[in-house]
A and B are shown apart, each in its own frame.
Chain A
Amino acid sequence: ELKVEQNPLFLSMQEGKNYTIYCNYSTTSDRLYWYRQDPGKSLESLFVLLSNGAVKQEGRLMASLDTKARLSTLHITAAVHDLSATYFCAVENTGNQFYFGTGTSLTVIP
């Protein structure tokens, strides 16, 4: 079974600082997704990464994918309070089945 690991599990950072969340997965996949979840809410799609070397940016978030290393990163630039949420990466296998990481709970402190 495909395993997906995220680190850190918990992240507390000050506004204005930069940080990176890491997502490692155990078997070959060319599709990786990043989602945001606010408390008690559903999942909001952030990025879809479909090939090795893919990089996507939206506002203060940038995601990248290295399929050879089986690693994706979500980089946060100059964090603001509104980014506080739980972030999940998910890897899709050839059967369109999604495997989610354990999530990273991000708290941005003023």
Chain B
Amino acid sequence: DAGVTQSPTHLIKTRGQQVTLRCSPKSGHDTVSWYQQALGQGPQFIFQYYEEEERQRGNFPDRFSGHQYPNYSSELNVNALLLGDSALYLCASSLQGYTQYFGPGTRLTVL
């Protein structure tokens, strides 16, 4: 079992650009959640996808959007990047109602 995988590992973008991050959940998991972790802080919940729909959303602007595919993999899209979007983006998967398992993360740097 490969566990939760994320790609890419690192990414450098400039202000105003758009970025797409990808996540493959642990085998058998149907729910994917995305978190933003700024340096020195705890992860902040962005949103959660289940059955290809956004079920929960944290306090993030509409520039942050996502998608879940029939195979449960997921994407996080961020438009009009700001310097403050620089962070570690974590994907977590779970079987609805059970423990979340986190992926290795994507380190995004916005210049």
- Taking Cβ atoms with an 8 Å cutoff, the residues of A that contact B are 1, 4, 33, 35, 41-45, 48, 88, 90, 95-103
Contacts and interface: CB of A to CB of B under 8 A. Distances in A.
Contacts, number: 56
Contact of A88 (B42, B101, B105): B42
A41 B31 CA distance: 22
Interface of B: 31, 33, 35, 41-45, 48, 55-56, 58-59, 90, 92, 94, 96-97, 99-105
Contacts of A33: 99-100
B44 A42 contact: no
A48 B99 CA distance: 8
A97 B35 CA distance: 11
Contacts of B58: 97
B101 A97 contact: no
Given A48-B99, A97-B56, A43 B45 contact: no
A33 to B, nearest CB: 7
Contacts of A1: 59
B96 to A, nearest CB: 7
Given A41-B104, A42-B104, A95-B55, A100 B42 contact: yes
Contacts of A35: 102
A53 to B, nearest CB: 19
A97 B45 contact: yes
A102 B42 CA distance: 5
B11 to A, nearest CB: 15
